Structure 1
Amino acid sequence: MTRSLRLPVAGGTLADFTPINAPVSAPLKPAGGHRFNRVAYAAAHVVVDPFADNDPWLDRNIDWERTIAFREYLWDLGLGVAEAMDTAQRGMGLDWAGARELIAHAQSAARGRPDAMIAYGAGTDHLPPGPDVTIDDVIRAYEEQVAYVEGQGGRIIMMASRALAAAAKGPDDYARVYDRILGQVREPVMIHWLGSMFDPALAGYWGSTDDMQAMETAVAIINQNAAKVDGVKISLLSAEKEIVMRRRLDPSVKMYTGDDFNYAELIAGDEQGYSHALLGIFDAIAPAASAALAKLAENDLDAFHQILAPTVPLSRHIFKAPTRFYKTGVVFLAYLNGFQDHFQMLGGQQSTRSILHLSELFRLADAARVLRDPDQAVRRMKAILATVGIE
């Protein structure tokens, strides 16, 4: 078959396109294991069952076999799994009841693999924000989810709380909540600072809409509780802010970049340090991420950037505003690459990006060398184009 296809471009016209780049390859389960010098987690998506007899906007319909198989694939590439996070549509299709199921399934799979690195999002999403919600309510909600994750034997990623953002009167309320929860956890956790571009309901987190002022509060809380904090995932899409915060953290606390715009430079680091990784884009570019990290561990910085740099334009496109809809691009690539046989998402979220957006994503995925089987990707892209009348 021909690989050529016609993709829409701005202005309502079509342009011929042919993917030409061979995909990046990375070893699966190499002898002796992967040897990275950065800790790297991919925040993983969920696969839905398109044949479920339900109301797709309202009900969960997760294909557990395909969902867990994708996590096995990430582990085979040497990546950790950040589970039940926003990439899994937490708070945008996946509620706490669904997250509990996901955590149980993933932890069951992880128990069978001594090499499986995994951590789980624990938040307060079963507590709807409202005028009657108190700080004590927020604390109890966090305690419930932390207890569930720890009861499964899992590590915790302490997610940002919409309820806390709505209930807090200032920085002292954040200190009260985080001090309380961190004082109770069994082992060090990762703290996630998710910016409002990812979730508008988190505007003003840490008690200020000024990120630098918010950082003052966050750093003070984290450093005071450093013994209970493995690291911080910061998702502000600002390399400068991440570097400032990284340099102010207690030396025992890792910085996990959540910057899907600037991750290559932040992971490479500078003379004063570097960031580890906890990224949604690593779901979509897993082989390239694994191959690049292997080169970095060999001190081959040029090869690291040669592999990872072409993925950055793709990531910036997937995470463009409205950033919270990035999950659609991640799942679309999973479909193109054969990890699922359909382009369906929880809550009908596949509809959040236009055909122009998806077409540009296809071009950038070829440039990034992350189309695993270009022939298959072309067939599947043509199937999507046909749904909007492009034959």
Structure 2
Amino acid sequence: MSSGYELHQKLRTKTVRQLKKKDYEGAIKSLYDGSKQLLSDKEQGSGCDLACYLVDVYTQGQIKSDEQSRTRLVELISLAAPDFWRKKVIDASIRWSVATTGAPAGDGYLRLAIAEILSKEGDYLASEPHYIAACSPPPAMASSDLFAPHAPKSFACMMLDWLAAHASEATKEPGESRAAESIERVGAGAFALRGLLPLLLARAMTNSRAFLNIYISRLVQKHPNLLLPVKPNPKPFSPPGGMPAPESPQQLYLTASPDLNFAQMAFAMISQAVDHKRRTSGARVPDQLRDGWLAIVRQYEREAGGLDDDYMAEVLPQLGSIYFDIQPSRPQGGNFMQDMLGSLMGGGAGGGAPGAGSSNQPRTVAVKSAPPPVISKAADPGQAAAGSASGPGDASGGGEDLDLD
């Protein structure tokens, strides 16, 4: 019988006695110290089992999620090897966190810490949903101490690291002749969208802005040839139809990447819609703003974005419903632009449940995760930028292409 197994059994027996006396602090110390020792000794199964028991004691003792309680769990997770045992600890920790905080995704600091552990190991796909959760506080909890203000920065940096790693791996594929820098430029917009869109669905406007600004500013510092040769660049977003300027003006970097341009225009248009609803106590958005949204979606569809079509077909109608009062239609197998226009013409902009389009009445939005990223064989937008002067538009509405010139 191994010493690790003996220690594991001894501590479980000791914890049972402590819990009978309702000595939760003693039980927590026994389990934490024991799990830490076992994991340090590479006794993965025994160490993770005690860590799960620790979470169970948190629940029995009604331990709140705070810096001390979550730090214990984060330390144990960081000591564990990346296998199904560690996943059991992570899942148990999140369930406890959800129950004790009341936040749908749990404590944002805990989710961020888990995300950073996974991303440091290079498991970016697994870290992504934890970053999204850390950046998506419910509106009522946006100012609480459960969510880290630096989470969007960490998320943006992870996405850039993931983009670079993915491009590096792509160079090793048979028949691939492009350099990693060229592949990065091709995929940069798709990675921006897969980070931004879930935050917009969660109505996390402040964190959406922070994520997008950090991501794009660092991206163009690394790849300045993504920018179009126009001045000024960046330029301020101009609201459609003479609407008042947004409270927090958004700068648009004009690039040859349709994905990057759409990400920026989508956020700017949604910000304008949120500002309008705030000023008018949730009144329906003006036609010119709704038409401007439909126009940029139509233009993006023609320019063939880098994210999976099925994913975009689910996300974009949801954003149209939440922010622009466009009632989503039932899936009919068409493309997402046809579905959006069909719902607009058939059901009207004000349909759906009362308040469904109001940013003041949050609702749960369920959308599947973006599929694993694939770098397309599209032309390098850095090379295209040198000979192009067209980019994202001024959202003038009317359903036409939105040109800057």
TM over 0.5: no
TM-score w.r.t. the length of structure 1 is 0.29
Q: Which has the larger radius of gyration?
A: 2
The structure whose residues are more often helix, as a share, is 2
Give the TM-score of the pair, scaled to structure 2. Answer: 0.29
Select the structure that is richer in strand.
Answer: 1
